Amino acid sequence: MTDAAKTVPFPARRTLRSLADLTEAGLTTAEKAQQLQSVADRYAIAITPEMADLINPADPHDPIARQFVPDSAELTVSHTESADPIGDDVHEVVPGLIHRYPDRVLLKFVNVCAVYCRFCFRREMVGPQAGTKVIPDLDAALAYIRNRPEVWEVVVSGGDPLVAAPRRIAELIQALAAVPHVRIVRFHTRVPVVAPGRVTAELVASLEHPDIATWVAVHANHPAEFTGESRAAIARLAEAGIPLVSQTVLLASVNDDAETLAMLMRTFVENRIKPYYLHHGDLAPGTSHFRTTIAHGRSLMKALRGHVSGLCQPTYVLDIPGGHGKAPIGPSAVDDIREPRTVEDFRGQRHCYPPE
């Protein structure tokens, strides 16, 4: 944290949830707050004290502020953007349960988050306006899972499922563990990074069950998000034997340069988190200022290959609009067009490969 950030009179350790809060914290001005009212009326605001502490208000390009502080650009909606950019609605089998892939389902366990990212692909569906903290028909979701023997894994999302009380999480784990064909439950969360104090011994214990394997996918987009508190929270999960993987969204002016991306992936690995997905920005309303081109994303993946450890290589994926699922879109080192076939090394030199 910079000296400039240290001098900001943040309200005492509470989540900032309004433009008035942001103004009081020095993260915007009264004049800008008036201009942002239309954004706040449409999309929820929440910045935890841990994230607010990282923001340098004097830096107009601060990567943490860009992720969480509202921007008037969010009111610019292109014709390609959609309130349901990855097609959740197409595959919703009961309220809050998405069955898109044959062997797994996604359960929207809660409709709220600890923080609200300005680029969220479910930004029209999460937040206080969603009306309920837990999905309305969990019993129906569990009944569907029990009746589908092909379902091997349940991905628990939302919202952010780790904002739920440990008791509710434990009840969910117990219910899923009782289904013989469900062997994996995977939680997707920002909590260990943005609200590490929630990762208590009670929460960690709620994730564990002898009859089912729990995995946690930790979402972070910039190495600055890894504070001492967040590293300790992640360690509590890792030391409990819970496997950890990462999620990152490729974001313009946040992490869309090779140096930042390499540092982020190394930070994941140093904290016992295996890089898993680098998401191309979804076509959510008002998020075009965050999206890079696919060509730029591929160039970044190419820059990572060979220059950082193989442990640090995520899969670059695009969620195909309309509900068609994720597709890997990273660069290929193989030239299949010309003969003899060549393979490019990490230095950019090509080498012949014999005919198969």
Give the model confidence (pLDDT) of 77-101 as tens digits.
999 999 999 999 999 999 999 999 9
- Exactly one of 108, 118, 122, 198 is catalytic; name it: 122
104 noted as active-site residue: yes
Both 170 and 311 in a single domain? yes
Both 192 and 216 in a single domain? yes
Instruction: Evaluate whether 294 touches 320 at the Cβ level (below 8 Å).
Output: no
- Exactly one of 148, 183, 326, 341 is catalytic; name it: 326
pLDDT of residue 193: 98
Both 117 and 69 in a single domain? no
113 noted as active-site residue: yes
What residues contact residue 186 under an 8 Å CB cut-off, 6+ apart?
153, 154, 155, 156, 214, 215, 216, 217
133 noted as active-site residue: no
pLDDT of residue 234: 98
Both 134 and 277 in a single domain? yes
146 noted as active-site residue: no
pLDDT in tens, 125-173: 776 666 555 566 899 999 999 999 999 999 999 899 999 999 999 999 9
3-class secondary-structure state, position 251: coil
- Exactly one of 43, 113, 118, 160 is catalytic; name it: 113
Both 180 and 248 in a single domain? yes
190 noted as active-site residue: no
- Exactly one of 66, 100, 123, 198 is catalytic; name it: 100
pLDDT of residue 355: 79
Both 162 and 46 in a single domain? no
Distance CA 310, CA 353 (A): 22
Distance CA 89, CA 236 (A): 35
What distance, in Å, lies between the first and last C-alpha atoms of the chain?
Answer: 55
Both 227 and 276 in a single domain? yes
Percent of the chain with pLDDT over 70: 94
The residue segments making up the domain with residue 143 are 89-325
Tokens of 199: 């990762």
Distance CA 39, CA 325 (A): 29
Residue 328 buriedness (CB in 10 A; 0-12 / 13-18 / 19+): exposed
Nearest to 257 by CA among 297, 220, 291: 297
Per the domain annotation, does 57 fall within a domain?
Answer: yes
Is the CA virtual torsion 197, 201, 202, 203 positive or negative?
A: positive
How many distinct structural domains can be found in the chain? 2
The stretch 4-28 carries a mean pLDDT of: 76
Residue 69 predicted with pLDDT over 50: yes
Name the least confident of 17-26, 120-129, 240-249, 257-266: 120-129
* CATH number for the domain that contains residue 229: 3.20.20.70
326 noted as active-site residue: yes
Per the domain annotation, does 198 fall within a domain?
Answer: yes
pLDDT of residue 10: 41
Question: Can you spell out the DSSP letters for 329-345?
Answer: ----SEE-SSSS-EEE-
Both 51 and 182 in a single domain? no
What residues contact residue 338 under an 8 Å CB cut-off, 6+ apart?
none
Name the least confident of 30-44, 267-281, 324-338: 324-338
